[in-house]
Amino acid sequence: MKLGFIGTGNMAGAIMGGIIGQGIIPASEIIGSDVFAAGREKVKEQYGIHVTADNKEVVEKADKFILSVKPQFYASVIEEIKDVVREDQIIITIAPGKTLEWLEEKFGKPVKIVRTMPNTPAMVGEGMTAVCANEKVTEEELDEVLTLLGAFGKTEVVSEHLIDVVVSTSGSSPAYVFMMIEAMADAAVADGMARPQAYKFAAQAVLGSAKMVLETGKHPGELKDMVCSPGGTTIEAVRVLEAKGFRSALIEAMKACAEVSRNM
């Protein structure tokens, strides 16, 4: 097998879907394990991969494997598999708070580790994934991992000390954006718009605005000013957002998120 997954939840499924859909690795060369039979059977049916209840089997059969369990289970899973991990394997992690140093200590022997932080928009092929690796991973091996991760969105290599910032900036931020879309839709419903239509207008506005930032190269403040006509509706809305602490609330929320990530 070329690729294994220990844990077959939503994020693992998003990664599988992107990799298989882009033709990078066929389903026949992917194996996944999960303690829950329902989780295993779901990805088997959806993607056609091999599945097992045995985490060690994944490690023994795969060239690379992704630790896609929740952070609180990392220590116990690593304890279970470390004796069958080979020094030539690439281990890809997606857990906040679990540093390269911590991971190396838990494996207790020289291993190749690529630490990543993806986000849930990977489920629709628009993920943003930060990547860093330990010194045992070669440049060629890192490129291979970036190709895998690029199957479901964009990737960026960062210094490890920035991973906790990434958690707050892209890892957790879809939740903030979903809350904003929901609030925008609620306001539209309060003014008489049907809810499905309100979600569509609000979500498309967010999608289009994000695309403008990425594709125009203009500063977000400049793009904001382009919408704010003198004495107009938008600048009045901006005034109210500033009065209610919109930007400050986001900054404080992200700082709190990063701090929790550092201490996980």
Q: What is the CATH number of the domain that holds 196?
A: 1.10.3730.10
pLDDT higher than 80, residue 1: no
- Tell me the CA distances in angstroms from 202 to 45, 60, 178, 209, 246, one per residue in order: 34, 47, 10, 11, 17
Q: Could you give the angle at which helices 139-149 and 10-21 cross, rounded to 10 degrees?
A: 100
- Tell me the CA distances in angstroms from 201 to 177, 205, 212, one per residue in order: 14, 6, 16
- Which 3 state secondary structure label does DSSP give 154? strand
Domain boundary pick from 139, 163, 187: 163
- Distance CA(244)–CA(19), nearest Å, equals 43
Over range 231-241, report the average pLDDT.
Answer: 97
Whether residues 155 and 181 share a domain: the answer is no
Question: Residues near 79 by Cβ (< 8 Å), separated by ≥ 6?
Answer: 106
Whether residues 118 and 22 share a domain: the answer is yes
Whether residues 42 and 113 share a domain: the answer is yes
Whether residues 189 and 238 share a domain: the answer is yes
**Strand 64-67 relative to strand 3-6, pairing:** parallel
- Distance CA(90)–CA(111), nearest Å, equals 8
Over range 186-195, report the average pLDDT.
Answer: 98
What pLDDT was estimated at residue 263?
87
Average pLDDT of the chain? 96
Whether residues 144 and 216 share a domain: the answer is no
pLDDT higher than 80, residue 240: yes
Over range 236-243, report the average pLDDT.
Answer: 97
pLDDT tens figures, 95-150: 999 999 999 999 999 999 999 999 999 989 999 999 999 999 999 999 999 999 99
pLDDT tens figures, 7-40: 999 999 999 999 999 999 999 999 999 999 999 9
Whether residues 18 and 122 share a domain: the answer is yes
Domain boundary pick from 110, 141, 163: 163
pTM exceeds 0.75: yes
- Tell me the CA distances in angstroms from 227 to 182, 236, 243, one per residue in order: 22, 11, 19
Paired tokens of 75: 């220590």
Whether residues 147 and 225 share a domain: the answer is no
Over range 249-255, report the average pLDDT.
Answer: 97
pLDDT higher than 90, residue 264: no
pLDDT higher than 80, residue 87: yes
Angle at 105 between CA 102 and CA 109, to 5 degrees: 140
Whether residues 178 and 83 share a domain: the answer is no
List the CATH number of the domain containing 43: 3.40.50.720
Domain boundary pick from 163, 195, 218: 163
Paired tokens of 260: 């929790």
Whether residues 257 and 142 share a domain: the answer is no
Structural domain including 232 reads 171-262
What pLDDT was estimated at residue 111?
97
Over range 190-202, report the average pLDDT.
Answer: 98
Residues shown for the chain: 264
What single-letter DSSP state applies at residue 198?
Answer: H
Whether residues 48 and 9 share a domain: the answer is yes
Whether residues 31 and 158 share a domain: the answer is yes
Total tally of structural domains belonging to the chain? 2
Whether residues 96 and 223 share a domain: the answer is no
- Distance CA(126)–CA(123), nearest Å, equals 7
- Distance CA(128)–CA(9), nearest Å, equals 18
Question: Residues near 45 by Cβ (< 8 Å), separated by ≥ 6?
Answer: none
